[in-house]
Amino acid sequence: MEDNKKKYLIITYGCQMNIHDSELLAGMLEEMEYHQTAEIEEADLILINTCIIRENAELKFFGKVGSLKALKEKKAGLIIGVGGCMMQSDQAVKELYQKYPQVDLIFGTHNIHHLPDLIKRIEQERGRIVEVWKQEEGLIPDLPAKRENISQAWVSIIQGCNNFCSYCIVPYVRGRERSRPVAGIMQEVNKLVADGVKEITLLGQNVNSYGQDLGDEVDFADLLQKLDKVDGLARIRYMTSHPRDFSQKLIDTIRKSEKVCEHFHLPIQSGSNHILTKMKRGYTREKYLDLIKRIRETVPDASITTDFIVGFPGEREEDFIATMDLVNQVQFDLAFTFIYSPRTGTPAAGMANQLEPEVKKERLNRLMKTQNLISLEKNKKLINSIVEVLVEGESKNNRMMYSGRDRKNKLVIFPKKDNAKGALVRVKINRVQSFTLFGEIIEASFNKKLVVETG
Ligand code: 5AD
Ligand code: SF4
């Protein structure tokens, strides 16, 4: 490692979209001959990629950036840059610029490809720069990603969101939907597979709107069909999909495909039609239940996960009971549950009947308790079954163990065996918790096509 090279470190908050953006930021920095470091004290450049989806993401960020002040005072020449979704908010930029003089650079989600120029300007002129574009200018151009993982990769297929759910800030910070042409996606995926990638996750705020703006009669199902034919690729995942746009054609395509995983993440947000209407989700509880029924009829062994927001303005106890009832009815494999967080600029933030924090917390706890039991019961059925796992690496909590995910996206932990990192292996499950399956490798079938057995 050449020690005279400048070093960078990126801190990322938020969703997979942001994690992938950070890979692109890292890719550009590597091309500028910066090297990655894990030690913050060593860094010549620190970038923070922010999230704005809920208030706690913002609070964590301000805590972090505050803590960098001492470092900046100690180290002459340290550059601190902040980008990401939060920087699309004028108010956040104003606060950051005025109260945090340690920050040299502020940039937004629409101009990440300008990072090299911005950094060069700061290196030369040593001033502070704020460059945030209010609007997208077409697609962000293809950029080289620096991937941490050898066998898995994110592939962006559509940027932005047109939905404007009443609680959500995303459309305001990520702009309108823009699909990436098929050719560019296929080219990227073929290259990734040639580099050894076995699993791709197609990314977009609403992947099932894919193609609507392209004008060449291609939709998300068509894209999946094309990708399913890529030799050497083992798994295709996608996120996030909107229940309103999940067509029967898409379900049938997934059923017929070999590589698209049997996992459906379909955020419902609430089980009450009164709340769903206020959220502007575009479906009813009945429509959602019908979708789940059709998925289960077509792909019988699928796992189904969801997101919930509890404590939306005007949520009555009876609305919450409708959510609890739906949870019991659907029997999700997993649910991500969030307390409603008012986001300035969204319609819901201005609605009457905002709920007290205690009410929201109590409902969240009730929902989590019920769902965790359901997740546990579902996982118990997997004891003694054999699942195909793509080994991601050492488990976070135990260095003697590997962790990875099965096709249904369940986290699987097992003792290390051979040099299985990055490989597809067969794991026999012997113990389960609500969020985790434990087992041991029975066969390390590197690169072989596997059939999953359930028992
Ligand atoms: N408050 C709480 N949760 C939210 N989400 C999106 N916006 C908000 C908000 N204002 C949740 C939704 C979405 C997930 C990614 O984040 O459940 O599906
Ligand atoms: Fe992701 Fe939305 Fe957060 Fe941006 S605001 S990082 S798109 S979750």
Output the domain CATH number for residue 23.
3.40.50.12160
CA–CA dist 423, 444 (Å, integer)? 8
Indicate if ligand 2 lies below 6 Å from the C-beta of 18.
Answer: yes
CB of 425 sitting under 6 A from ligand 2: no
Ligand 1 centre distance from Cα of residue 57 (Å): 12
Range of 31's domain? 2-131
Q: Does 142 fall in a domain?
A: no
**Pair 88, 12 in one domain:** yes
337 and 404 inside one domain: no
Nearest atom, ligand 1, residue 343 CA? 10
Q: In a mutational test of the pocket of ligand 1, which residue from 279, 281, 309 has the highest number of ligand atoms less than 8 Å from its CB?
A: 309
* pLDDT for the residue numbered 440: 96
| pLDDT value, residue 76 | 86
Measured from the Cα of 57, ligand 2's closest atom is 3
Mutate which of 20, 112, 174, 240 for ligand 2? The one with the most ligand atoms within 8 Å of its CB, which is: 174
What is the pLDDT, as a whole number, of residue 3? 63
Q: What's the Cα-to-Cα distance from 14 to each of 65, 214, 349, rounded to whole Å?
A: 16, 28, 20
Q: What is the pLDDT of residue 181?
A: 95
In a domain, 449, yes or no: no
Strands 401-406 and 386-394: antiparallel
> What is the structure's pLDDT at 166?
98
Whether 14 is in the pocket of ligand 1, judged by its Cβ within 6 Å, is no
Question: Which residue ranges in the chain fall short of pLDDT 50?
Answer: 446-455
Cα(15) to ligand 2 centroid in Å equals: 5
Ligand with minimal distance to 268 CA: 1
Asked whether residue 326 is domain-assigned, the answer is: yes
pLDDT value, residue 446: 46
For a mutational test of ligand 2's pocket, the pick from 173, 176, 240, i.e. the residue with the most ligand atoms closer than 8 A to its C-beta, is: 173
380, 402, 436 - which closes a domain = 380
Distance from residue 212's CA to the centre of ligand 2 (Å): 22
CB of 53 within 6 A of ligand 1: the answer is yes
138 assigned to some structural domain = no
What was the pLDDT predicted at 284? 98
CA 53 to centroid of ligand 1, rounded, Å: 6
pLDDT of residue 268: 98
Of 168, 265, 275, 367, best ligand 1 pocket probe by most atoms within 8 Å of the beta carbon: 168
Kindly report the number of other CB atoms within 10 A of residue 155's CB atom: 21
Question: Which residue's C-alpha comes closest to atom 8 of ligand 2?
Answer: 15
165 and 32 housed in the same domain: no
Domain assignment present for 305:
yes
The C-alpha torsion from 275 through 165 and 407 to 324, rounded to 10°, is -10
- The answer, yes or no, to whether any atom of ligand 1 lies below 6 A from the CB of 205, is no
CATH code for the domain in which residue 398 is found? 2.40.50.140
Question: Are both 12 and 159 inside the same structural domain?
Answer: no
Q: Is the CB of 343 under 6 A from ligand 1?
A: yes
pLDDT at 217: 87
427 and 361 in a common domain:
no
Residues 329, 313 within the same domain: yes
pLDDT the model gives residue 455: 37
Task: Name residues whose C-beta falls within 8 Å of residue 52's C-beta, 6 or more positions apart in sequence.
Answer: 58, 84, 85, 86, 88, 89, 92, 169, 173, 343
The reply to whether 452 falls in a domain is no
The pTM score is: 0.94
According to the model, what pLDDT value does residue 296 have?
Answer: 98
> What pLDDT, on a 0 to 100 scale, did the predictor assign at position 354?
97
Residues 232 and 108 in one domain: no
C-beta of 161 in contact with ligand 2 (< 6 A): no
Q: Which ligand is nearest to the CA of 335?
A: 1
Residue 269 CA: nearest ligand 1 atom is 17
Domain count, the chain: 3
Whose atoms come closest to the Cα of 308: which ligand?
1
Centre of ligand 1 from the C-alpha of residue 338, in Å:
6
Using the mean position of ligand 2's atoms as its centre, give its distance from the Cα of residue 452 in Å: 34
Residue type, 287: K
HEC states along the chain?
CCCCCCEEEEEECCCHHHHHHHHHHHHHHHHCCCEECCCHHHCCEEEEEECCCCHHHHHHHHHHHHHCHHHHHHCCCCEEEEEEHHHHCHHHHHHHHHHCCCCCEEECCCCHHHHHHHHHHHHHHCCCEEECCCCCCCCCCCCCCCCCCCCEEEEECEECCCCCCCCCCHHHHHCCCEECCHHHHHHHHHHHHHCCCCEEEEECCCHHHCCCCCCCCCCHHHHHHHHHCCCCCCEEEEECCCHHHCCHHHHHHHHHCCCECCEEECCCECCCHHHHHHHCCCCCHHHHHHHHHHHHHHCCCCEEEEEEEECCCCCCHHHHHHHHHHHHHHCCCEEEEEECCCCCCCHHHHCCCCCCHHHHHHHHHHHHHHHHHHHHHHHHCCCCCEEEEEEEEECCCCCCEEEEEECCCCEEEEECCCCCCCCEEEEEEEEECCCEEEEEEEECCCCCCCCCECC
The residue type at 209: S
